[in-house]
Amino acid sequence: MRNSIILSFLAIFFFVSCRDSRIHEKKEWGKYFDAEGVPDGCFMLRDNNHEAIYYYNKERCLQRFLPASTFKIFNSLVALETGVAPDEQLIIKWDSVVRKVPEWNKDMNMREAFKVSNVPYYQEIARRIGADEMQHYLDTVNYGNRNMGGSIDQFWLNDSLQISADEQVGFLKRLYFNELPFSERTQRIVKSLMLQEETPQYRLYYKTGWGVRTQSNVMWIVGFVEKLEHVKEDKNSMNKSDIRMYPYFFAENFNAPLNDTTKDWASIRLNILKSVLKDFGAIPQ
């Protein structure tokens, strides 16, 4: 009953928040999930140029899940804004605990930690930020359900904090346009951390997440892509660049079986993303 009430509220919020946008269901995107053997997933994409929303599986797009490592976007913003991290070169020394991800077992800076999704690094960042500051920014940004539970270094991993794909897209749009309650410098640095691919046709920015739950894992990939188009400007134009950037914001998540090592779920997550972006024309085929 409680979940149905929450979903109803979020559905109202979704359509009100998009009242100036065109909203389109894309059932055909289900074929990309089906091709990878993913029975329960969703995708939301916002075409900013046309103020249009496209989605697959609306109910799940409005359902909140733990953000897992996608929260590193928010964690980085708060760390930089509060001075916990003077910049993205802040080095945190390895605590000598050998973990299952070999890339984590060394000293590293924030840029490196973001790239390899180093959980212990960002847990230490959260401890240095502290509960009061973190809660302040969760409330100010209105990030998901804003619930930290009782643990400063676990709340984005243990189902206390939850956020929907719809809310992720809204958060990323605000980040892209420097509209979050952080300085321009802070938002610029975090966007640079998110850049994963750069080609003459597009720039792809994203953060992945892999959340462990009692029944299944939840796989996330959220971010934005800039489609680059080259134009010839008039010599009298105020805009001296010959590049136009068209942003598209996205959030994808799906369930993956617990302890299932028969598939490369990390690659599947990215395969689905690129299939949808190619289908939409945001990146070339």
Indicate which residues carry an active-site annotation.
69
Cβ-based neighbours of 247, under 8 Å, separated by 6 or more: 48, 49, 176, 224, 225, 226, 227
Q: Strands of 52-56's sheet, edge to edge?
A: 22-25, 52-56, 41-47, 243-257, 216-230, 202-212, 195-198
* Residue 85 identity (one-letter amino acid): A
Q: What kind and span of H or E run contains 251?
A: strand 243-257
Which tokens sit at 99?
A: 């973990």
Asked whether 135 and 148 are in contact (CB, 8 A), the reply is yes
Per-residue CA distances from 75 to 29, 81, 186 (Å):
31, 10, 11
Asked whether 40 and 48 are in contact (CB, 8 A), the reply is no
Alpha-carbon distance 126 to 267, whole Å?
28
Cβ-based neighbours of 55, under 8 Å, separated by 6 or more: 23, 24, 25, 26, 42, 43, 44, 45, 61
Q: C-alpha 28: how far from its chain's center?
A: 23
Alpha-carbon distance 26 to 279, whole Å?
11
Per-residue CA distances from 265 to 134, 209, 213, 261 (Å):
31, 11, 15, 8
